[in-house]
Structure formats: C-alpha cells, structure tokens
Amino acid sequence: MARTPSPSVAIRDTSLAGVSGRRLALNLLTAIRPGQWTKNLLVFAGLLFGMRLFEPADVVRSIAAFAIFCALSSTVYLINDVIDRETDRRHPLKAMRPIASGAVPVTAAIIAAALIGSVALAASMALGSRFAAVALGYLALQALYSGALKHMVIIDVLTLSGGFVLRAVAGAVAVDVMISNWLLVCTTLLALFMALAKRRHEIVLLADGAASHRPILGEYSPYLLDQMISVVTASTLVAYIVYTVSPETEQRFGTEWLGLTIPFPLYGIFRYLYLVHRRAGGGSPADLLLTDRPLLACVALWGFVVAILIYRPL
C-alpha cells in the first residue's frame, strides 16, 4: 500500500512569493547547518601544532580562516541540498531539511549559496593567495562531490575525507607554518574513518531502501564497511602513536611526553565505534561530538593536554 506523505514533510510552495522574510531567514539559517561548523575546527590544528597559539596576529588569522570555511561549508550544504532535494524527500531524516521540505525555496537557496560563497572566496584573498587557492580547491572538490563523485564507490568516502584534509591544510597556510606529513596522514585516516561510519549508518538506517534512496549505497554492505573501518581504525591509531613517539616529533616540540596523549584517541575512536554499533550513531560526526558528553570531553582533554605538553615541555 502506498504511503501518503506525512504532514510534517509535506512539500510546500517552492516559489519566493508568499514567504515572509523573517521565516525565510530562519529557515535559511537552518539550511546552512551551523551545527556542522564544528568540522571546521580543524583549521586550528596549524595554530596549535605550529607553535603559534600565543601569537595574537596568528590567532586572528586562524579565526578568520575558521569563519571563511564555515561560510564555504554552508555554501556546499545549500548546493548539495538543492541537488538532492528529491531523494532527500524519501529519507526518514533528511526529509525534514528546509530545502527538501519546501521551507526554503530553491531559488532562495541558490541565491544564498552564490552570495555566501562569493563573499567567502573574496574574504579568503585577505589571508593570501595560497589560502585562497586552498579555499577554492575545497569548494571545487565539494561541488564535484555533490555532482558526480558521490556516486562512485570508494571515491565518495575518499572525497569526504579530502574535505577534512583541506581544512587542516588551510589552517596551516593561514598562519604560514609547515604542513606536516603527519598532519596530512592522521587527518586523512581519521576523516576516512568517520566517512565510512557515516555510510554504515545510512545503510543500516535505510535498510532495504538504501539503494533506492541513493544507488551508491547498494555498492556497500555493513560487513564490507566494517572491514574497511577496521583497517582504517588500526591505521589511524598506529599513525598517531608513531607520530607522538617519533624522534622527529620530540625534536620539533622539545618534549618526549606526547605519548601520554595516546589514550585519548584510543578512547575517542572506541567510543565512536560504540555509538555507531550500539547507539545507531555516526550519521553526523558533528552532532555526535556535540551531543555525546564523554566524546566531547575526550576531545577537549586531548587538546588541553597536547597544548600543555607542547607549550610547557616537561
């Protein structure tokens, strides 16, 4: 028997006529997903590990970089939601998104995306041509993901992780510090871990309807993703452990005690896996970080301990 659309997800008029300015502004604020901006905290990695945490000018530049990437990511969310609005309407959770539900007209979303993206790219030039190039590369990569790349198996999750890497690179470029190979390796692996967990969550949530919602999901299975996650989990932990105890790291930061931070990523990754498998989490890493207090405390304590060890070497 065919199901009738729930009143809560009924598609509204997608024209601008009759939409009050205040309501449209509030719905647009929801559509740009400010709750997801925590992903952009990665831009501060360059400030922390580049030994610039107490340089006021560099702190200001990092905050500016963070704001620019928040705007760029919001631009991507709007573009993605416009493209996916038809399939999102068949999704039990995404159907409530403002564009899919019709709360934000498509025309308004496109105009907002163009304005926000243009302002962000213009502002990126103030941080230098290198930073602007990374910002443009990030926007281009995410636009490609919203189009063709998210329909290519394995490439889709690699592209998602690439977005996180570019955030970290942008943070290093913003304060003009060396981009460590370790930063790239650890960020890539951790982002890939979260991207695979996200795919697993989608497949489990949608069950038999996963492939009809998005054909690429039919190329995965929970078992396959669990195997990939196992490989990436081990690789992430090994990479971080080797980084913290390597002579290169000890020489750079003047401390041999960074190994004391190893329990934090161990607990954080295991906690994340617990939430994915036992609490049906993982659909949104940002939401998981903000709503799970043990995970949030783990990340905060890790950052605090790293800062203490780097800036006050034992």
Question: For residue 151, what is the domain's CATH number?
Answer: 1.10.357.140
pLDDT of residue 139: 94
Domain boundary among 134, 159, 179: 179
Q: Are residues 169 and 36 in the same domain?
A: yes
> 159-212, pLDDT tens digit by residue?
999 999 999 999 999 999 988 888 889 999 999 999 999 888 888 877 777 667
pLDDT of residue 314: 59
Q: Are residues 143 and 190 in the same domain?
A: no
Q: Are residues 132 and 209 in the same domain?
A: no
Per-residue DSSP letters for 86-136? HHHTTSTTGGGSHHHHTSS-HHHHHHHHHHHHHHHHHHHGGG-HHHHHHHH
Task: Tell me the pLDDT band of 73, cut-offs 50, 70 and 90.
Answer: very high
Has residue 15 been placed in a domain? Answer: no
Domain boundary among 179, 210, 240: 179
Residue 98: closest CA among 32, 27, 35: 27
Residue 48 exposed, middle or buried by CB count within 10 Å (0-12, 13-18, 19+): middle
Domain boundary among 179, 202, 237: 179
Please, where are the H alpha helices in the chain? Answer: 21-31, 45-49, 56-83, 85-88, 98-101, 106-124, 129-147, 155-174, 181-206, 210-213, 222-245, 247-253, 263-278, 285-291, 293-311
Q: Are residues 104 and 244 in the same domain?
A: no
Task: Tell me the pLDDT band of 287, cut-offs 50, 70 and 90.
Answer: confident
Note down the domain range covering 52. 23-179
Question: What span, in angstroms and rounded, lies between the C-alpha atoms of 108 and 26?
Answer: 12
pLDDT of residue 313: 67
In percent, the amount of the chain with pLDDT more than 90 equals 61
> 78-103, pLDDT tens digit by residue?
999 999 898 888 878 788 899 998 89
Q: Are residues 165 and 80 in the same domain?
A: yes
Has residue 3 been placed in a domain? Answer: no
Q: What is the number of structural domains in the chain? A: 2
In percent, the amount of the chain with pLDDT more than 70 equals 90
Tell me which of 1-15, 121-135, 187-201, 264-278 is least confident.
Answer: 1-15
Tell me which of 20-29, 43-52, 93-102, 124-133 is least confident.
Answer: 20-29
pLDDT of residue 9: 44
Phi, psi for residue 18 in degrees, rounded to 5: 80, 0
Has residue 18 been placed in a domain? Answer: no
Centroid of chain to Cα 44: 14
Question: What span, in angstroms and rounded, lies between the C-alpha atoms of 92 and 241?
Answer: 40
Q: Give the pLDDT mean for 291-297.
A: 91
Q: Are residues 35 and 166 in the same domain?
A: yes
Q: Are residues 133 and 272 in the same domain?
A: no
pLDDT of residue 214: 74
Amino acid at 45: A
Q: Are residues 277 and 226 in the same domain?
A: yes
Mean predicted lDDT score pLDDT of the chain: 88
Q: Give the pLDDT mean for 140-161.
A: 91
Q: Tell me the C-alpha to C-alpha distance, in Å, between residue 66 and each of 125, 131, 170, 183.
A: 14, 12, 9, 17
Comparing 267 with 18, which gets the higher pLDDT?
267
Comparing 213 with 29, which gets the higher pLDDT?
29
Task: Tell me the pLDDT band of 132, cut-offs 50, 70 and 90.
Answer: very high
Q: Are residues 119 and 188 in the same domain?
A: no
pLDDT of residue 2: 39
Has residue 77 been placed in a domain? Answer: yes
Has residue 5 been placed in a domain? Answer: no
pLDDT of residue 16: 52
